[in-house]
Amino acid sequence: MCHTRLIVKTALIIVMACWLNLNLHVSKGWSHECIPASNSAADIFAYNSCKSDLLIGASGHSDTDQADHNAARIESLEQENAMLRTQIKTMKARLLQIIADY
């Protein structure tokens, strides 16, 4: 029994380590180079801020791509909204017709 638990724990640790390793390499923080200019405290702070911004997605490095994506997404949602409003009007008309038949 104890031997089985050890095997399960070991397998779980290996799976979690592999998952973490894969996610770190795919992470936004690894996809862009933040290069420190020197070893001064200000440059190290700027480097750390850059890495932090990349990880949370607030770096602003791809604002045009993000703006294009947002504009396309808004357009898609507006079209979907118009379609749903039309469906609501159709359903209201059908319900009113059903109520009128009673």
Q: Which amino acid is at 97?
A: Q
Task: In whole angstroms, give the CA distance from residue 55 to residue 34.
Answer: 12
60: left (phi over 0), alpha (psi -120 to 50) or beta: left
pLDDT in tens, 53-76: 777 766 555 556 667 778 888 999
pLDDT band at 21 (very low <50, low <70, confident <90, very high): low
**pLDDT in the model for residue 30:** 46
pLDDT in tens, 78-99: 999 999 999 999 999 999 999 9
